[in-house]
Amino acid sequence: MKKHAQAVVIGGGVVGVSVLYHLTKAGWKDVLLIERAELTSGSTWHAAGGMHTVNGDPNVAKLQQYTIQLYQELERISGQSCGVHVTGGIMLAGTQERLDWLKMAQARGRYLGMDLEIISVDEAAKLFPLMDKQHFTGAMYDPIEGHVDPYGVTHAYAKAAEIAGAEVVRRTRVTELKARADGSWDVITEHGSVHAEHVVNAGGLWAREVGRMVGLELPILAMQHQYILTDDIPQLAGRPEQLHCIDFEGEIYLRQERGGMLMGTYERAGAPWSEHTTPWDFGQDLLPNDLERIAPSLEVGFEHFPALGSAGIRKVINGPFTFAPDGNPLIGPIKGLKNFWVACGVMAGFSQGGGVGLALAHWMVDGDPGADIWGMDVARYGAWATLAYTNAKVRENYSRRFRIRFPNEELEAARPLRTTPVYDRLMAENAVFGEYCALEHALWFAPPGVAVRENVTFRRSNAHEHVAAECRTVRNAVGLLEISTYGKFEIDGPGTAEWLARVMANHLPAVDRIGLTPMLNERGKLIGDFTMCRLGENRVFLIGTYAAENYYMRWFERHLPATGVRVRPCATEYVGLSVAGPRARTLLQGLARDDLSNAAFPFLSFKRMDVGMVPALVGRVSFTGDLGYEIWVTSDYQRALYDLLVAAGRAHGMKSVGARALNAMRLEKSFGTWAREYRPIYGPYEAALGRFVDLKKRDFIGRSAAADDKDRGGGVRLVAFSVAAADADASGDEPIWHDGKVVGAVTSGGYGHSAQASIALGYIPSELADADGGFEVEIIGARRAARRLDAAAFDPQGLRMRS
């Protein structure tokens, strides 16, 4: 084993070898993989090897496409067969809702260049004769699904990496990791140590244990997963290999294995494995079968596919593999740990392993993953994702693997975990709660006598009319909104102004003023959008997206000077309430001694003031697009503030308003939001944020790339549409058509109650950005005419918020 390496990858499962291979491909040849036992000795060896392109997150779907296309390259370079069987795949729907879901998946696939086809039950039965037609309503066909040989794939990656100069060391366990002052690592193993500039935790089933070596508790948990192999099935003899099949209603998947079938299930009552610590002596072992646990799924399977029921069960496989709470991988660098990377929680290694390796290798070598991997970034989890939280969410996710997640659906596990001081006040007002970063927040309020529950649906829900009423409250009188779910940072120290000028694309506002700003990476792409509230020469209250707190902090720490600037996240220390609507000023003025007139406290003012007895930070701004104030207080004051506002608000017709109405109002104002419109693949000019980029500033991160982007106009442009929708609005990821071709995708959508229009925001090619006609948005399988809007659908001149 070498004594020094540019990077050491810990773990020789399919993910570790993929990272190793991609590091060599990206130009790092001095790389070493250390495996405790033989390659594949974790989850990898007993995997069913299935591969799919379809994924709920289009960015993950792209990486899955890449992975599947990679196998040919690996075979060519390594000479090792990956055992690729591209059988094609079929997804069977048993309900209308599932058929709608398939139509939406097909539509999303169009934008990604996937060749998915919706077919009838009869057509499905021709392709997959084992099914009993009576249980199904339709299907989707995907020509590039199939399965691979897990052993072959893992060894092909390893051989290809070795050919490029990498070293693979087997039967050597990493026992300890010691950070050096310069950010490099001593990797201590059973057989000596290696000095590594970078370390990658690809420990799979043991990724938690490897994380603990550096004081990290990764939010992953292994679940037991079972599949059966049947005896030979006579109907298969002499036929071409059967398609890969998912039966959503049965919650099972099937594929042919020699003369029989393999059938696996994600059962509802799934069982975790090694909940706290994974034993090091677990090797190429299987867990004891528990057919009783999966019996309900098997029964459905035997009913839906009768030939399997009459064949005997040849073998049962029960093996563990790991999941993050949302089922997506955890990849990237870790905030606070220099040169330490993770690539774990990969639950579909044979669909995602290639893309994960590619993205991580680019991130390590070029400083940027080169793709939009926000949905897989380890930074999306904060301190709330404890071991017990992870346990509850992973079980839930596992049990829902083949269930539909509706766009308005809130999941129930691990709730309520985090609440703000006004939680019970909102509950007393019949709030229907949602969860964001494990924090409860009000989605909408059920009027007296109305059930406090939202029906899950792809169409407009029972909340529609109540959300409409909340929007009317804001537009006609005044609404009270809790706004605690934003990320907040206190920044101070003598270097604050200079540092923010370098890190943010816009200039700092004057003292007591608010400025909006994008944050860009070196490539000029959006990695954040913030509200900078300047409290003093070198004191700023920064507001951004809470889910990205760790993501931002990782970037801030990377760019902070050694002394002179302090950044402190304070998301739940400061909570907030907002009053918005034409009567907001009169209401608040009745409670504050400061002059709130438009002349004294105009749009984008920010000030420390008392509201009643409550010391607060007040900003004259509102995401509703109306006259409004955001009032930030430390959490001990929030109830008092709430009670004060509610009492004073009665005279002004004030009512509580939830997040659904806020979303509807921001859509009709064409206001974008992080993780939907603003993502690290778009530049600020593409995202219509150009007016918040101050190119006159000499130097800030991403300036030259942004300037180029401005000159060239960027490749795509964010635009808003008014859609001739029926009973369903766009919710995100729907394809945008122009003149019969898919040209873009929706980033978010919904009904704008004040504009009385179904609104969709999305990116289209720049050359079409000024086109007038010919647009359509595909919603649940129907192409709806869409009119591109030149300005926001509501109050296009922005007079109301400035009035």
Ligand X SMILES: Cc1cc2nc3c(=O)[nH]c(=O)nc-3n(C[C@H](O)[C@H](O)[C@H](O)COP(=O)(O)OP(=O)(O)OC[C@H]3O[C@@H](n4cnc5c(N)ncnc54)[C@H](O)[C@@H]3O)c2cc1C
Closest to ligand X by CB, 352 vs 391, is 352
Q: Which of 19, 202, 414, 560 binds ligand X (CB under 6 A)?
A: 202
Q: How many CB atoms lie within 10 A of CB 333?
A: 21
Instruction: Restricting to residues 211-230, name those near ligand X by CB under 6 A.
Output: 225, 227
Strands 757-765 and 479-482: unpaired
In whole angstroms, how close is the CB of 272 to ligand X at the nearest point? 13
Q: Residue 47 interacts with ligand X (CB under 6 A)?
A: yes
55 binds ligand X (CB under 6 A): no
* CA dihedral of 216, 219, 220, 221, whole degrees rounded to 10: 110
Q: Does 319 bind ligand X (CB under 6 A)?
A: yes
Q: Based on CB atoms, which residue is closest to ligand X, 329 or 702?
A: 329
- Report, in Å, the least distance between residue 44 CB and ligand X: 3
Of 92 and 526, the one with the shorter C-beta distance to ligand X is 92
Closer residue to ligand X in complex, CB, 99/174: 174
Stretch near ligand X under the rule CB under 6 A, chosen from 347-355, 387-395, 427-435, 700-708: 347-355
Shortest Cβ distance from residue 59 to ligand X (Å)? 18
Q: Which residues contact 7 (CB under 8 A, 6 or more apart)?
A: 23, 28, 30, 31, 32, 196, 197, 198, 199, 200, 364
One residue of 10, 23, 688, 706 binding ligand X per CB under 6 A = 10
**Cβ–Cβ under 8 Å, residues 220 and 338:** no
Q: Which is nearer to ligand X, 42 or 750 (CB)?
A: 42
Nearest distance from residue 435's CB to ligand X, in Å? Answer: 27
* By CB under 6 A, residue 204 contacts ligand X: yes
Binding of residue 619 to ligand X (CB under 6 A): no
Q: How far, in Å, CA of 490 to CA of 425, rounded?
A: 28
Give min distance, CB of 190 to ligand X, in A: 9
Residue 696 CB neighbours (<10 A)? 6
347 touches ligand X by CB under 6 A: yes
3 state SS of 28: coil
Binds ligand X by CB under 6 A, chosen from 8, 34, 497, 665: 34
CB 389 within 8 A of CB 219: yes
Is 755 a binding residue for ligand X by CB under 6 A? The answer is no
- For residue 742 the two structure tokens come to 């898919």
Residues 727-746, interacting with ligand X (CB under 6 A):
none
Residue 323 in the binding site for ligand X (CB under 6 A): no
Can you tell me the distance from the alpha carbon of 299 to that of 101, in angstroms, rounded to the nearest whole number?
25
**Angle value at C-alpha 701, between 697 and 702, nearest 5 degrees:** 95
Centre a 10 Å sphere on the Cβ of residue 710 and count the other Cβ atoms it contains.
16
Q: What is the token pair recorded at 650?
A: 């009665």
Interface with ligand X (CB under 6 A), residue from 13, 211, 327, 479: 13
Listed ranges 113-121, 316-324, 439-447, 577-585: which one lies at the site for ligand X (CB under 6 A): 316-324
82 binds ligand X (CB under 6 A): no
Is the CB of residue 148 less than 8 Å from the CB of residue 84?
A: yes
- Residue 409's φ and ψ, nearest 5 degrees, are -90, 130
Residue 763 forms beta bridges with which residues? 718, 745
How far apart CA 787 and CA 778 sit, in angstroms, is: 13
Nearer to ligand X, 177 or 659 (CB): 177
Least Å distance between CB 391 and ligand X? 18
Total number of residues that touch ligand X (CB under 6 A): 41
Piece of the chain touching ligand X by CB under 6 A; list 192-200, 201-209, 358-366, 480-488: 201-209
> Which region among 305-313, 341-349, 437-445, 685-693 touches ligand X (by CB under 6 A)?
341-349
Q: How many CB atoms lie within 10 A of CB 786?
A: 29
Question: Minimal distance in Å, beta carbon 104 to ligand X?
Answer: 23
| Closer residue to ligand X (CB): 15 or 793 | 15
CB-based burial of residue 60 (10 Å sphere; 0-12 exposed, 13-18 middle, 19+ buried)?
Answer: buried
What is the DSSP annotation of 570-625?
A: -TTTEEEEEEESTTHHHHHHTTBSS--STTTS-TTBEEEEEETTEEEEEES--TTS
Of 170-189, binders to ligand X (CB under 6 A) are 173-174
- Shortest distance in whole angstroms from residue 257 CB to ligand X: 11
Distances (CA, A) of 332 to 44, 361, 364, 550: 21, 10, 9, 12
Q: Return the residues of window 134-173 that contact ligand X according to CB under 6 A.
A: 173
Stretch that binds ligand X, among 42-50, 121-129, 331-339, 564-572 (CB under 6 A): 42-50
What is the contact surface with ligand X in residues (CB under 6 A)? 10-16, 34-37, 41-44, 46-50, 173-174, 202-206, 210, 225, 227, 317, 319-321, 344, 346-351
